[in-house]
Amino acid sequence: MTSLSRSPGKHAPRAAASRALPLAALVVLALPGLLGDEFLLRFAAEVLLIGTAVMSLNLLIGSGGLVSLGHAAVFGVSAYTAAIVASQVDGNAVAIVLAGTMAGVAMAGLMALVSLRSSGLHFLVMTLVIGQMAWELAFRWRELTGGADGLRGFPKLALGDWYLDDALGLYALAALTALACWSLLRQTAAAPLGQALSGMRDQPLRMTALGYDLKRLRILAFILTGITTGAAGALYPFVNQYVGPNVVHWSMSAAFVIMAVLGSIRSLVGGYIGAALYLTIQTYLSSYTDRWQLIIGILFVTTVVFMPHGIVQKIRGGKTP
Amino acid sequence: MLAGGAASLALGMPMPARARDTPIKIALITSLSGPFASLGESMRAGLSLYMEEIGHQMGGRPVKLLVEDDQGKPDEAVRKVRKLLSQDKADVLCGVISAAAALAIRDIVADAQALTFISNASANALAREAASPYIFRPTKTSWMLGHTSALWAYEHLAKQGGMTLASDYAAGREYIGDFKTTYTERGGQLDRQVWTPLGTSDFAPIIMNIAAANPAFVYAFLPGSDAVRFLQQMRDYQLHGKVRIMGPGALLDQEDVLPAAGDAGLGGLNTFHQSPDAPSSAAFAQAYKKSRNRLPGEASTSGYATGQVIKAGLDAVNGDVSRKADIKTRLLDGAVETAFGPMQFDPRNNQAVLDIYVNEVRANDDGVPLNTVIHTYKGIRDPGPSA
Amino acid sequence: MSYYLVQSLNALSFSVLLLLTGLGLALVLNLMNFINLAHGSFFLLGGYVAIQWLASGAPWWLAFPAAFLLTAVIGLVLDRLAFARFYARPHLMQVLLTYGLSVVFADLMRWGFSADTLSPALPAILRGGVWIAGLPFPSYRLFLIGIGLLLALTLWYALDKTLWGAALRACVIDRDIVETLGLNARKIFSAGMALAAGLAGLGGALGAGMLSAYPGLDEEVLILALLVVVTGGLDNFKGTVACAVLLGFVTTFSRVWWPEFANFITLAIMAGVLVAYPDGLVTRGGRKA
């Protein structure tokens, strides 16, 4: 499986495994499509879309400890753009995804520029502030975003005459997007850009000495994140035909961080695992007990204390680098 | 059995004996965490109290109450509703505290033709363009409160020199907008309109402005903890008693705001479909006080009243939940006796027609601030889809 | 003129409140280089403790020390059980641990104290008002301003001017050397953590009269505290004070003039400060460690 910091010289035995991976992923993704009922399919679609956003957050965190509390703003801005554009293009799926992705990239780019000189805690607070500014806009600009009530009643996704509003269609679209984004990030991790990003995390001083422009690298990381998060965000409103300001709020960003840690910050697939775990507990456990947030909190703390690199790393049994 | 069941349904015959024992699943969607947690718990308490009183039986069948937490987030409400309909196979949905959540789930329940009772959310849209044949609202609309406040303010407070203050979100905009429309229609003139973000902790700057302006009255809407802070800070700044405060009932809710605001709420006026002082909710208020040691506010009374409405509907069809049209007919035909008073539903939009009380917060015999009814506007009906 | 005077006093009281929210966090960040995102939970707990204390009829002025002590003890317990291993870990790990704990605490408090908004029963002496140039101003806010400034001064003195504060800072920079001097670094850290927690609780107890206590306040306070402390500058206390004053005045006056956009304006200004001063509003200067 992929990790963001792969040491050279271990290519050969891994190559076979990494070729089998997309196939395995396809099988895993096909399962809910065959077995699930309507709710499960939509739920799985949501998990995949949010998982993609969390995976993108992993990229940022993995590029130098850039824990963003404004990631939901990127996701949410793409979602709102998609919903708003939907009415303009009569539900044309391609146009919508494109528009949402571009919005995501724009938002991510903005965050990158503003936080260029920040790191660590400063970066955390900076992204929080920017994210909340986006939330204020979403909450207040009633004419555009529907304000506190959010947007509903926008057209359903369509490719030509073929409507994608049923659960299976949505799930297929979400799965495709997740697979595409995952492949993109996976390829990037193996490429020089990805190696440079891990270098930025591990040895910033040395990287500068080698002539890398860390600022430019950071912007690139953000843009990459913007693409994947934007694509996922663009599809999000169509799962429930609704988008509200809550998807931009910092509490959503905090939830992303929890999901990232639960899954594993060092693995791309960890984003999906974490999202699945968190959302499952949130949806199913809350029916049985009022104390479900306590359970998530305890799970989170346990993960941080005993499995600081997340569940996926624990399963791999590897020592943490 | 299926064929037999289908046949008997089609012929309108009573259900087979085995089916009568399977419980009717009533799902309550409420906020048990997040910003409306206290309201959500009250609603659950009210409905649970009712369920106990009727022995968990409606229309001769046992009733199972499923409770789902929407965390005050519309996205989560949508997810839960889908789950309830698709996996838990809920027969009846009820609850929903926030207007945003109610609007978010509206399309889903309308498409699924699921019988839904919106217990608390007061968004005007649900009685107008977003009304649906299967969604009933056994509670008020924002208009009903804003309108009656304006009537009272114009007659009894002042015809000019008043100002408004509200949290800047959908509910605030609705209440103030409706108040202003009716007030100015009657010929009144409002001075300033002040909007403040949701979750304002320090009202001091605004209160200073109020002190400087010295308005004839302030019509305010602030939810939950914002209301508590506002009332207390008004008292801190010696404006309590000098400036008349009026608002929709949520500003001075008996259960949600008054216990924390205490004396700072005395003298406040509000128009509401609920009052612990009203004769129709006397029995419920007593029972609730016994069980939870506090006087009920809107949320708990809504929960209780929703239970009463659902029971009336189910009793009429002997527990046969599939006969939705007959349930509708029963509810639209005659008034249902509820803790809000006799509840008639408007056939255009399934919106309840309610008596709206004008409450003044006065200290009762024990010195506890109590919403006391000083006037009743009978049978207020929302203008509906034509508005 | 008097109107602006009173509004400035309003701003000052809000600044002091912000300072109170940031006190414990500033201590733990500046001196111990430990990010405590459970800070908001301590604040809220202090508020609840004060409310219960005041409702029980015990002497009112003991409510605040009681809140301080209780939260300090809890801070101590957490230090022993959880935090100790994390002092040396990277910031990210601390963020994650303490955030998880804050989620746990939030739910426990909602379970224990219910979801209702609670208000403290303040004694009569704190409830009146004074008249400043013909406009009313609550005694409680004067009390808050007084105590807040006193606390700030005491803290600044203790941390910047005494040996104990120096020892605490030294422990962060080079623990081993400090131990060779015969000081028990472990105990110093524990004391620092307890003090920080206690301060947070004290802040909550004092602020309850203005903010009340309810689930969700912990998150709101945490955000404010982070904003104040981080924007102010992570390596000194003056920055926190400066930023609290800035934020207090910006918030108050934007509410006076443009109440609808107050939040957005405040956020924009803070973002501007963050961009312009990536090392904080006030720094010690010199190389960053």
Judge contact between A265 and A307, C-beta under 8 A: no
Neighbours of chain A (3+ CB pairs under 8 A): B, C
pLDDT at C214 over 50: yes
DSSP bridge pairs for B165: B194, B220
Q: Chain B: list its partners (3+ Cβ pairs within 8 Å).
A: A, C
Q: Return d(Cα C97, Cα C37) in angstroms, integer.
A: 8
**Mean pLDDT for all residues in chain A:** 83
pLDDT value, residue A116: 86
Neighbours of C267 (CB within 10 A): 21
Could you report the per-residue pLDDT of A130-186, keeping only the tens digit for each? 999 999 999 988 888 888 888 988 888 887 777 777 888 888 889 889 999 998 988
Residue B211: band (very low, low, confident or very high) from pLDDT cuts 50, 70, 90: confident
Chain B: closest CA distance from residue A282 (Å): 9
What's the pLDDT score for residue B266?
93
CB A45 within 8 A of CB A171: yes
Cβ count within 10 A of residue B62: 14
Mean pLDDT (whole number) for A226-246:
93
- HEC string for chain B: CHHHHHHHHHCCCCCCHHHHHCCEEEEEEECCCCCCHHHHHHHHHHHHHHHHHCCCEECCEEEEEEEEECCCCHHHHHHHHHHHHHCCCCCEEEECCCHHHHHHHHHHHHHHCCEEEECCCCCHHHHCCCCCCCEEECCCCHHHHHHHHHHHHHHHHCCEEEEEEEECCHHHHHHHHHHHHHHHHCCCEEEEEEEECCCCCCCHHHHHHHHHHCCCEEEEECCHHHHHHHHHHHHHCCCECCEEEEEEHHHHCCCCCHHHHHHHHCCCEEEECCCCCCHHHHHHHHHHHHHHCCCCCHHHHHHHHHHHHHHHHHHHCCCCCCCHHHHHHHHHHCCEEECCEEEEEECCCCEEEEEEEEEEEEECCCCCEEEEEEEEEEEECCCHHHC
Query: What pLDDT was estimated at residue B311?
Result: 93
Q: Does C52 touch chain B (CB under 8 A)?
A: no
CB contacts, 8 Å: B86 with chain A: 37-39
Cα–Cα distance measured from residue B164 to residue B144, given in angstroms and rounded to the nearest whole number: 17
Residue C89 in this model has a pLDDT that exceeds 80: no
Q: Quick one: pLDDT band at residue A235, thresholds 50, 70, 90?
A: very high
Largest Cα span, chain C: 62
Round to whole Å and give the CA distance between A206 and A195.
13
A246–B168: do the CB atoms touch at under 8 Å? no
pLDDT of amino acid C190: 87
Cβ neighbours of residue C200 closer than 8 Å, sequence gap 6 or more: C23, C24, C25, C39, C42, C43, C46, C71
Number of C-beta neighbours around residue A219 at 10 A: 17
Burial (CB count within 10 angstroms: exposed 0-12, middle 13-18, buried 19+), residue A12: exposed
Q: State pLDDT tens for residues A3-28.
A: 454 455 445 545 555 666 677 677 77
Give pairs for A92-98: CB < 8 Å, separation 24+. A92/A158, A92/A159, A93/A157, A93/A158, A93/A159, A93/A164, A93/A173, A94/A159, A96/A157, A96/A234, A97/A177, A97/A231, A97/A234, A97/A235
Residue B211 contacts residue B241 (beta carbons within 8 Å): no
Query: Could you give the CA distance from residue A50 to residue A31 in angstroms, rounded to a whole number?
Result: 19
Query: In this structure, are residues A301 and C101 in contact, taking their beta carbons and an 8 Å threshold?
Result: yes
More confident: A76 or A117 = A76
Angle of the C39-56 helix axis to the C63-81 helix axis, nearest 10? 140
Higher pLDDT, A162 or A314: A162
Which pLDDT belongs to residue A243? 93
Least confident of A250-259, A312-321, C232-241, C270-279: A312-321
In a mutational test of the C interface, the residue from B206, B238, B252 whose CB has the highest number of chain C CBs within 10 Å is B238
CB contact under 8 A, B80 and A283: yes
**Considering all CA atoms of chain A, what is the largest pairwise distance in Å, rounded to the nearest integer?**
57
Q: Provide CB contacts within 8 A for A262, sequence distance 6+.
A: A273, A274, A277, A278, A299, A300, A303, A310, A311
Query: What is residue C146's predicted lDDT score, i.e. its pLDDT?
Result: 92
| Same fold flag, B2-140+279-349 and B143-272+356-386 | yes
- Tell me the CATH number for domain B143-272+356-386: 3.40.50.2300
B31, B38, B222, B225: best to mutate for the C interface, most C CBs within 10 A:
B225
SS3 A151: strand
Amino acid at C255: R
| Distance (Å) of CA B308 to CA A157, B54, B99, C181 | 41, 10, 22, 75
**C10 vs B208: CB contact, 8 Å cut-off?**
yes
Q: What are phi and psi of B163, to 5 degrees?
A: -135, 165
pLDDT digits (tens, 9 = 90+) for B97-131: 999 999 999 988 998 899 999 999 989 988 998 88
Whether residue A196 contacts residue A217, with contact meaning beta carbons closer than 8 Å, is answered with yes
B-chain CB neighbours of C40 within 8 Å are: none
Structure tokens at C134: 């013909």
Residue of C25, C34, C95 to mutate for A, most A C-beta atoms under 10 A: C95
pLDDT value for B291: 92
Name the residue among C91, C267, C271 with its Cβ closest to that of A120.
Answer: C91
> What pLDDT is recorded for position A313?
63
Q: With beta carbons less than 8 A apart as the criterion, state whether A246 and A41 touch.
A: no
Of B75, B100, B198, Cβ closest to residue A240: B75
A118 inside 8 A of chain C by CB: yes
At A79, is the pLDDT very low, low, confident or very high (cuts 50, 70, 90)? very high
Q: Are A129 and C90 an interchain contact pair (Cβ–Cβ within 8 Å)?
A: no
What is the average pLDDT across C233-245? Answer: 82
Domain map (residue ranges) of chain C: 2-222
Query: What whole-number distance in Å separates Cα of residue B32 and Cα of residue B30?
Result: 6
Among A26-35, A299-308, B167-176, C252-261, the range scoring the smallest mean pLDDT is A26-35
Which chain A residue shows the shortest CA-CA distance from B76? A283
Q: Please indicate whether, in this complex, the C-beta atoms of C211 and B259 are within 8 angstroms of each other.
A: no
Residue A142 corresponds to which amino acid? R
Tell me the nearest-neighbour CA distance from B25 into chain A, angstroms.
14
Give the range among A317-321, B174-178, C112-116 with minimum mean pLDDT.
A317-321
What is the tens place of the pLDDT at every residue in B304-316? 999 999 999 999 9
Which three-class secondary structure state does DSSP give residue C135?
strand
pLDDT(B65) > 90:
yes
Average pLDDT, chain B: 89
Burial of residue A40 (number of CB atoms within 10 Å: 0-12, 13-18, 19+): middle
Task: Return the structure tokens found at A63.
Answer: 């590029």
Per-residue model confidence (pLDDT) at position C285 = 55
Q: What region does B346 belong to: left with phi over 0, alpha with psi -120 to 50, or beta? A: beta
Nearest-Å Rg of the Cα atoms of chain A is 19
Nearest-Å Rg of the Cα atoms of chain B is: 21
Which three-class secondary structure string do you get for C186-245?
Answer: HHHHHHHHHHHHHHHHHHHHHHHHHHCECCCHHHHHHHHHHHHHHHHCCCCHHHHHHHHH
Map out the domains of chain B as residue ranges: 2-140+279-349, 143-272+356-386
ipTM above 0.90, yes or no: no
pLDDT at A318 over 80: no
Instruction: Answer whether A296 touches C (CB < 8 Å).
Output: yes
d(CA A176, CA A48): 10
Contact present, B44 and B306 (Cβ < 8 Å): no
Interchain CB contact of C279 with B (< 8 Å): no
Token digits of residue C216: 């969700």
Residues B255/B42, Cβ–Cβ less than 8 Å: yes
Taking CA atoms, A80 is separated from A83, A139, A157, A172, A222, in Å, by 5, 12, 14, 21, 20
- What is the predicted pLDDT for the residue at B9? 46
User: With an 8 Å Cβ cutoff, is C115 touching chain A?
Assistant: no
Say whether C13 sits in a helix, a strand or coil. helix
SS3 A267: strand
- pLDDT, one tens digit per residue, over A28-49 is 777 766 766 788 888 999 999 9
CA separation for the pair A250, A202 (Å, rounded):
28
Weakest mean pLDDT among A261-275, B73-87, C161-175, C213-227: C161-175
| B28 or A59, which is more confident | B28
Helix or strand or coil: residue C130?
strand
Contact criterion met (CB < 8 Å) for C264 and A293: no
Q: Which residues of chain A have a CB within 8 Å of the CB of C101?
A: 297, 301
- What confidence score (pLDDT) does residue B369 get? 92
Q: Which of A149, A248, A256, A290 to mutate to test the interface with B (most CBs of B within 10 A)?
A: A149
The upper half-sphere exposure of residue C26, i.e. CA atoms within 13 Å in the direction of its Cβ, equals: 33
Compute how many other C-beta atoms are within 10 angstroms of the C-beta atom of residue B37.
Answer: 25
| pLDDT over 90, % of chain B | 63
| pLDDT confidence band for C239 (50 / 70 / 90) | confident
Rounded Cα gap, residues C201 and C68, in angstroms = 5
- Supply the pLDDT for residue A15: 57
* From B35, B195, B229, residue closest to C259, measured CB to CB: B195
What pLDDT score was predicted for residue A230? Answer: 96
Task: Report the number of secondary-structure helices (H) and strands (E) in chain C.
Answer: 12, 2
pLDDT digits (tens, 9 = 90+) for B177-206: 999 999 999 998 998 899 998 888 889 889
Tell me if chain A has a CB within 8 Å of the CB of C268.
yes
Which one, of B81, B96, B79, lies nearest residue B36 by Cα?
B96
Indicate if the pLDDT at residue B13 is higher than 60: no
Q: Which residue has the higher pLDDT, B1 or B53?
A: B53
Instruction: Give the three-class secondary structure for C168.
Output: helix
> Is CATH 3.40.50.970 what the domain over B2-140+279-349 is classified as, yes or no?
no
B32-43 pLDDT, tens per residue?
888 888 999 999
Domain residue ranges in chain A: 37-246
**What DSSP state is assigned to residue C121?**
-
* pLDDT at residue A16, as a whole number: 54
The candidate with the shortest Cα–Cα distance to A282, out of B88, C271, B33, C190, is B33
Report pLDDT for A102. 96
The secondary structure element, H or E, covering residue A166 is: none
**Segment C112-140 mean pLDDT:** 85
Residue C3: predicted pLDDT: 83
Determine, for residues B260 and C119 on separate chains, whether the beta-carbon distance falls below 8 Å.
yes
Optimal mutation site among C35, C274, C277, interface A, most CBs of chain A within 10 A? C274
C54-81: average pLDDT: 90
Q: Which of C92, C104, C223 shows the shortest C-beta gap to A298?
A: C104
CB of A132 within 8 Å of a chain C CB? The answer is yes
As a whole number of Å, the CA-based R_g of chain C is 19
pLDDT digits (tens, 9 = 90+) for C163-196: 877 887 787 777 788 888 888 878 888 888 899 9
Q: Residue C63: which H helix or E strand, with range?
A: helix C63-81
Q: Is the Cβ pair B170, A38 closer than 8 Å? A: no
Closest Cβ opposite residue C227 in set A125, A297, A298: A125
Name the C residues in 150-209 with CB < 8 Å from any A CB.
none
Q: Which among B32, B201, B236 has CB closest to C138?
A: B236
Contact call for residues C146 and C251 (beta carbons, < 8 A): no
| Structure tokens, A174 | 């979400």
Is B16's pLDDT higher than 80?
Answer: no
- Enter the pTM of the model: 0.88
Residues in chain A closer than 8 A to B168 (CB atoms): 140
